């Protein structure tokens, strides 16, 4: 008898056996950090550093954040608002060191040294105007059947849903909160729903629902964490199929995402069988509630 859950699991296993597929974040960064002076974006590492503590940042909702050094602010005729604190960005400085080799010849070694400097966002300054904006991309259309599943679940459950312009997707068990980037940040609607369904599957593991998250060590990178990620990504793939979304990029991302956790998850099919069973129970819960959960 044909089993759609087994079919999807086998497809994912077959793709994983072909080799490494790099995972790509399916949403665009809502808070791109650029140099106010040049408009050039900061490196990926610096983007991460500048995003830290953004939950308490008044400029969180900006499409583009523009940063300047103290000297650049002064040169532009501006000033830093009272009480504002800087963030730092890093860069590599190449240092040449001369040494003598075993033959007595002098050679130069190039040693990279990590350096940093402090920057302020335009919103932390007086007398500085913003110069750069992010081009708006085409916003994909919502998918009604998927939205019905989402609305029904969150209307029924105590779990909260926060969809907004952000650069983070997660489920917080302590807050019982699903947080995802909004639809306008995605190029393809299927990738938005794939992300949302992944976090919704996590939420079914709450102690008031299927109680998966209270079992074992759920610290980042642990076996229990990896297995839960497998459940969530399979649940997302199953749920996409349930609502009739065929998204090749989302499926490819699912495969790549699962590869990133551990060799055990790649090679032990028994783990997939167990995870697929839990994922099926999770989406049954999302669609139907407790009465049919396993």
> Which of the residue ranges 37-41, 92-96, 112-116, 217-221 would you say has the lowest mean pLDDT?
217-221
Residue 87 has pLDDT above 50, yes or no: yes
> Which of the residue ranges 143-152, 192-201, 249-258 would you say has the lowest mean pLDDT?
249-258
279 close to 5: Cβ distance less than 8 angstroms: yes
226 close to 262: Cβ distance less than 8 angstroms: yes
Q: What is the DSSP annotation of 65-113?
A: EEEE-HHHHHHTT-EEPTT---EEEEEEEEEEEEEE-TTS-EEEEEEEE
Strand 87-100 relative to strand 106-121: parallel, antiparallel, unpaired? antiparallel
Q: What was the pLDDT predicted at 275? A: 80
Q: What is the DSSP annotation of 196-214?
A: HHHHHHHHTTSTTTT--TT
Q: Which of 4-18, 196-210, 243-257 has the highest mean pLDDT?
A: 196-210
CA dihedral 286, 289, 292, 293 (to 10 degrees): 60
- Chain-centroid distance of CA 193 in Å reads 14
Q: What was the pLDDT predicted at 79? A: 96
Q: What was the pLDDT predicted at 250? A: 55
Residue 94 has pLDDT above 80, yes or no: no
Residue 281 has pLDDT above 70, yes or no: yes
CB proximity list for 125: less than 8 A, separation 6 or greater: 68, 73, 78, 79, 80, 81, 84
CB proximity list for 18: less than 8 A, separation 6 or greater: none
3-state SS, residue 164: strand
Residue 159 has pLDDT above 60, yes or no: yes
Q: What was the pLDDT predicted at 262? A: 43
Max CA separation in the chain (angstroms): 81
Structure tokens at 54: 């953004």
Q: What was the pLDDT predicted at 21? A: 43
| Residues forming a β-bridge with 88 | 118
Q: What is the DSSP annotation of 234-274?
A: HHHHHHHHHTT---HHHHHHHHHHHHTS-HHHHH-HHHHHH
Q: What was the pLDDT predicted at 190? A: 86
Mean pLDDT of 62-75: 87
Band (pLDDT 50/70/90 cuts) for residue 7 is low
Q: What was the pLDDT predicted at 154? A: 97
Number of helices (H), then strands (E), belonging to the chain: the values are 9, 9
- Chain-centroid distance of CA 12 in Å reads 21
Closest by CA to 280, choosing from 229, 220, 237, is 237
**Tokens 């106010």 sit at which residue?**
36
Q: What was the pLDDT predicted at 30? A: 46
Q: What was the pLDDT predicted at 2? A: 53
Q: Which of 2-11, 20-29, 166-175 has the highest mean pLDDT?
A: 166-175
What is the pTM assigned to this prediction?
0.58
Question: In terms of pLDDT, which residue wins out, 272 or 204?
Answer: 204
Question: In terms of pLDDT, which residue wins out, 69 or 272?
Answer: 69
CA distance 5 to 273: 10
Tens-digit pLDDT profile for residues 222-268: 667 777 888 888 888 888 878 888 656 555 555 555 555 445 555 56
């Amino acid at each position: 008898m044909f089993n759609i859950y087994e079919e999807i699991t086998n497809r994912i296993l077959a793709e994983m056996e072909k080799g490494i597929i790099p995972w790509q974040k399916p949403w665009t960064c809502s808070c791109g950090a650029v140099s106010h002076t040049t408009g050039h974006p900061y490196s990926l590492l610096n983007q991460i550093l500048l995003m830290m503590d953004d939950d308490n940042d008044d400029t969180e909702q900006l499409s583009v954040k523009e940063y300047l050094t103290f000297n650049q602010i002064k040169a532009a005729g501006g000033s830093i608002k009272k009480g504002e604190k800087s963030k730092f960005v890093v860069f590599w400085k190449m240092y040449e060191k001369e040494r003598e080799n075993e033959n007595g010849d002098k050679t130069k070694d190039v040693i990279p040294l990590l350096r940093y400097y402090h920057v302020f966002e335009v919103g932390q300054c007086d007398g500085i105007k913003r110069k750069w904006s992010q081009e708006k991309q085409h916003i994909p259309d919502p998918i009604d059947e998927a939205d019905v599943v989402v609305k029904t679940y969150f209307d029924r459950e105590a779990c909260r849903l926060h969809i907004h312009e952000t650069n983070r997707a997660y489920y917080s068990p302590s807050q019982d909160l699903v947080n995802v980037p909004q639809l306008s940040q995605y190029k393809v609607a299927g990738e938005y729903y794939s992300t949302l369904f992944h976090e919704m599957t996590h939420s079914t593991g709450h102690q008031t629902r299927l109680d998966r998250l209270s079992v074992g060590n759920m610290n980042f990178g642990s076996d229990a964490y990896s297995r839960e990620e497998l459940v969530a990504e399979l649940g997302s793939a199953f749920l996409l199929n349930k609502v009739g979304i065929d998204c090749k990029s989302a499926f490819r991302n699912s495969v790549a995402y699962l590869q990133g956790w551990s060799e055990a998850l790649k090679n032990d099919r028994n783990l997939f069988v167990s995870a697929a069973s839990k994922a099926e129970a999770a989406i049954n819960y999302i669609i139907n509630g407790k009465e049919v959960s396993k």
